[in-house]
Every structure is written in structure tokens, then in C-alpha cells.
Amino acid sequence: RTKPVIVTNRPIREGGRFNGSEEERIALLKLAIRLQADYVDVEHDSIQHLCRDTELRVPTKIIVSYHNFRETPDDLTDIYKRLSQSGADIVKIVTHANNITDNVRIYQLLQQSQMPVISFCMGELGIISRILYKRFGSYLTFASLQAGKESAPGQINIHELLNTYQAKKQDKHSAIYGLIGNPVSHSISPIIHNTLFREMNFNGIYVPFKVDTIGDFMREFRKLDIKGYSVTIPHKESVINHLDAIDSMAKKIGAVNTIVNTGGQLVGFNTDCEAAVKVLEDVSRGERPFARTKDAYLKGKKVTLVGAGGVARAIAFGLKERQAQITIINRNYERAQSLARDVGCFSRKFDDPQALDTDILINATPVGMYPKINETPINKDKLKSSMIVFDTIYNPIETKLLKEAKAQGCKTINGLSMFVHQAAAQFKLWTGQMPSVEMIEKIARDKLNGET
């Protein structure tokens, strides 16, 4: 063999498949020791059978393991004490995470331990403890050889661990960043930020946090000194109550998509707003090349914004600052009216003929997003060639709305360009360094096209 090998022979009661007698099972483990396996992993209630045979123990290292497939129990420290006194070389404590905060308890256990310990949580909510194993101080982690070949719930595959999460570069000092949301499993943010950390030589690691109860998460994860977060649906508004400070624009919008930890203080920002304004300014600049200040690119432009949710709010407040003439239309008209009142702009009903008398049309709804890619929020006969049409959706990159707008001769902007700019602004807030937006766009396109 060219790599160290761990031999296990798990009984069914510990989640394994060996259905012979206990004597046969232990005999096979002893044989592995005689054959000089690098490690033998034995269950906490069978360790006495191996440790009595002390002369067998060289050079094999014994791992004594405890598995709990139901929960992360309260008495983790007692379990650790018992296992650490068993005569084994390495302690392994693997539990099931029923709550994302269970990962914090595993982290605290690892911090307090005096001997080598392998510890992480199983299940979807435990994935972060598997990824952050070096940062947490675990002796090792487990990964499957390929997706679909997992040997325990929540195991990620080796390709993801090494490429997306750059596991070889991680150490005890890696700064942790991550995405708070639900769902988060299909987000492209981990590949983007982890690749940027690698390319820009920054010792950071970015992971997805699937969060149900935002208050519990924010309180418990302060113990881990997370350096920054991205925030997505459904927590952009509710997270505000758990921050120490908030930037003035994010406060006006009432939503935060970026959190920066400055010396233990969590400060909220909204980079969706500046990103949307930036992509609109870039396109409008072509129409007003002699404008003296960039504020003038959008000044007085008629903008119709479809939607009144979080992203529509961010865009509306940003455009208001640039003195655009905004009209909001939304399926739920009362919500459109309410947002228009907050921003100080117009609202109209969807079927009002004047609603689409506009220079810029923006879709800030999920209509047309994968998998319902054949839907469009605005019928093609309402599109005029003089319009700039901006769809905030980035999956697919070219929505039905954008395809039809292009066919009408409109200038179009896709949601990926906004996504790329909000990610770049986020990275700059966290690290002080501005990454290349071209690089972010390439990583995102490759991922969305399934190339990575």
C-alpha cells in the first residue's frame, strides 16, 4: 500500500454490516494489527479486547470510536473522558446533528481535548464540521470517493473537499466565512469565494450554513469567530435583529446580504443594491457618455421594477439615490404600494397600460428561474426596442424574458452580472482586496454550465 490504511469491522449495532459473531469480529481486527495496519478502529464497548493484548499494539495505532446516529448528546465531555482513558491512541466521537448549533459543541470538544481526536457531526446539518475539520482541530475527516458512494450520512466527496473547499490549504488559523440561508446546497457562492481565497493567497474557507432558526445560529456561532457571512433567503431581513451595527443603506432597505466581523462586532451591509446600480450604470453610460458624474447616467430615467420583495427593495433604494423615476408593479399590489411609499416612488397595477412606458425594465421576481424556464413575467409584445431589460435571475443566465427582449432589439443585462458584482463587493468588505469580476464571472459560468 502507498497510503496509510484504517481497518474497521463494524457491527450492525454501530451502523456497520458485519453480522458474524463478536469473537470473529475481534479476531479479524487482531489479525489486522498483526499485519501491521496503520490504524485499527474499534468500538468503545469492544476496546478492552484489543488493549489487553498490549504486545499487539506496535506499530498500529488504535482508534476508539463512539457513534451516535440519533443526536449529539449533552454528555460529550464525559464520553471523551471515558474514551481517552481506554488505552487507545486516538479518540473518535461521531454524532448526528439535529441542529446546526451541534457543530459548535463538537468544535468546543475538540478545542478542549488533550489527545488526538477525530470528531464531527453526521447528517446534512453536520457537513460543515466535516469540511472544517483542520480548522476545528480534528485529526482527520472522511470523504467518499464519488457522489453516491457515501459510507455515512452527510459525507461529501473527495473532489468537493479538495477542489471546492481546498482542504489541503486549511489549517487552524484559516478564517471562516459562509453563506447563511435555507436552502444552500445548490449555491455557487462556495466555489466562487473559495477559488478567490486560493487565487488571492488568502487563508480563508467559505462554507454553506443551512439555518432554520437565525437567532440560535447567530448566538452560538459567535463562539467560532466567523469572519464574515453572505446572507440569502429567508434570513436577509430577520438577521438584522442579531447584528451589532448596520450600514445606513442596508438599514434603509431593511435587508442585509453581507455581514462583516470587525473585532467581534457583526456589521450588516447590502451589496445587492450597489451591484444592481453598477450594472445599470455600466449599460446606461453608453447612452450618456458625456455625463459629468456617474450619478447622471440614471438621473430622470424611467424605470419599471417588477417585484416588491427583498431584491426589488434593494434595487429601488439604489435607483432612488441616483434620481431615477421608479414605478413598481407587483403581483400583490398592496406590497407594491407599500414599497413605493417607503422609497418615495410610483406604483401601478400589473395591467395598467402605463406600467410599461419605461426606459428600463427590471425583473426582480423568480418568474423564469430554473426549473420553470419557460415562464416570463412580461409578455413579449409589451417589450420595445428602446428599452434596457434587466433580469435579476442568473439561473438560467439568459431567461426567456432576456431572449425575447434581445429578439425585439432591446439592450439586455443578465442577473449573473449583478451576482458577480455583489460577490466582488462582499469579498472586498471581508478582505480589503477587490477581486477580478471577470474571474468571478468565469467561475460562476463554469459552475452553472456544469463544468466544475
Residues that bind ligand NAP (CB under 6 A): 233, 272, 307-312, 330-332, 335, 364-367, 369, 392-394, 415, 418-419, 422
How far CA 141 is from CA of 40, 77, 102, 156, 324, in Å, comes to 16, 20, 17, 10, 53
Name the active-site residue from 236, 278, 301, 400: 236
The reply to whether 92 belongs to the active site is yes
Residue 87 or 366 having the CB closest to ligand NAP: 366
Residue 37 or 424 having the CB closest to ligand NAP: 424
Residue 246 or 255 having the CB closest to ligand NAP: 255
How many other C-beta atoms are found inside a 10 Å radius of the C-beta of residue 349?
Answer: 12
The cell numbers describing 196, all together, are 478567490
Shortest gap between Cβ of 444 and ligand NAP (angstroms)? 10
Name the active-site residue from 67, 96, 193, 400: 67
Shortest gap between Cβ of 364 and ligand NAP (angstroms)? 5
Residue 220 or 274 having the CB closest to ligand NAP: 274
The backbone torsions φ and ψ at residue 345, rounded to the nearest 5 degrees and listed phi first, read -145, -170
Residue 40 or 393 having the CB closest to ligand NAP: 393
What ranges in 204-256 are assigned the alpha helix state H? 214-221, 248-253
CA gap 359, 327 in Å, rounded: 11
The reply to whether 67 belongs to the active site is yes
The reply to whether 236 belongs to the active site is yes
CA gap 170, 166 in Å, rounded: 7
Angle at 78 between CA 72 and CA 82, to 5 degrees: 115
Shortest gap between Cβ of 233 and ligand NAP (angstroms)? 5
3-class secondary-structure state, position 379: coil
The backbone torsions φ and ψ at residue 18, rounded to the nearest 5 degrees and listed phi first, read -75, 120
Contacts of 170 (CB under 8 A, 6+ apart): 132, 133, 134, 135, 205
Shortest gap between Cβ of 334 and ligand NAP (angstroms)? 9
Shortest gap between Cβ of 239 and ligand NAP (angstroms)? 13
CA gap 332, 339 in Å, rounded: 11
Are 394 and 416 in contact by the 8 Å Cβ rule? The answer is yes
DSSP string, 307-352: --SHHHHHHHHHHHHTT-EEEEE-SSHHHHHHHHHHHT-EE--TT-
Residue 419 or 427 having the CB closest to ligand NAP: 419
Position of minimal CB gap to ligand NAP? 309
The cell numbers describing 369, all together, are 428561474
* CA-based nearest residue to 258, from 420, 417, 430: 430
Shortest gap between Cβ of 269 and ligand NAP (angstroms)? 14
Residue 8 or 327 having the CB closest to ligand NAP: 327
CA gap 163, 140 in Å, rounded: 17
Shortest gap between Cβ of 420 and ligand NAP (angstroms)? 8
Shortest gap between Cβ of 88 and ligand NAP (angstroms)? 49
Sheet holding 245-246, edge to edge: 204-210, 175-181, 228-231, 258-262, 265-269, 245-246
Residue 116 or 366 having the CB closest to ligand NAP: 366
Burial 200-228 (b: 16+ CB within 10 A, else e): eebebbbbbbbbeebeebbebbeebebbb
Name the active-site residue from 41, 102, 272, 359: 272
Residue 118 or 314 having the CB closest to ligand NAP: 314
The reply to whether 447 belongs to the active site is no
The backbone torsions φ and ψ at residue 75, rounded to the nearest 5 degrees and listed phi first, read -95, 45
Q: How far apart are the first and last CA of the chain?
A: 30
Shortest gap between Cβ of 328 and ligand NAP (angstroms)? 9
Name the active-site residue from 92, 96, 252, 301: 92
Q: Which residues are catalytic?
A: 67, 92, 236, 272
